[in-house]
């Protein structure tokens, strides 16, 4: 993350969640919802899904279950 300079980058992980994430939970758990949100924003241009990732008050940023760092996201 720190070495990436001129590309959009997001680093997000769940507090207290192991390497497997929440994918073993029903419907993939919270991680699956985040993955679907990313796909909807990046591949489908969904402006509502964008709000999960962009800005200081982004959905993940204000969620106490997540640790988020991002830069160059627009």
Record the tokens describing residue 44, joined without a space: 């489908």
Per residue in 22-74, pLDDT (tens digit) is: 999 999 999 999 999 999 999 999 999 999 999 989 999 999 999 999 999 98
Contact 23, 32 (CB under 8 A): yes
Global confidence as pTM: 0.84
The DSSP H or E segment spanning 11 is: strand 9-14
Q: What mean pLDDT comes out for the span 2-17?
A: 94
Number of H helices, E strands in the chain: 2, 2
Q: What is the reported pLDDT for 20?
A: 87
Q: What is the reported pLDDT for 46?
A: 97
Confidence of residue 18 (pLDDT cuts 50, 70, 90): confident
């Amino acid at each position: 993350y720190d070495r990436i300079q001129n590309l959009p980058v997001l680093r997000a992980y769940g507090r207290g969640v192991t390497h497997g994430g929440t994918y073993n939970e029903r419907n993939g758990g919270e991680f699956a919802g985040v993955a679907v949100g990313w796909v909807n924003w990046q591949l489908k241009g969904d402006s509502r899904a964008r709000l999960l990732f962009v800005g200081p008050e982004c959905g993940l940023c204000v969620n106490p279950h997540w640790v988020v760092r991002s830069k160059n996201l627009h």
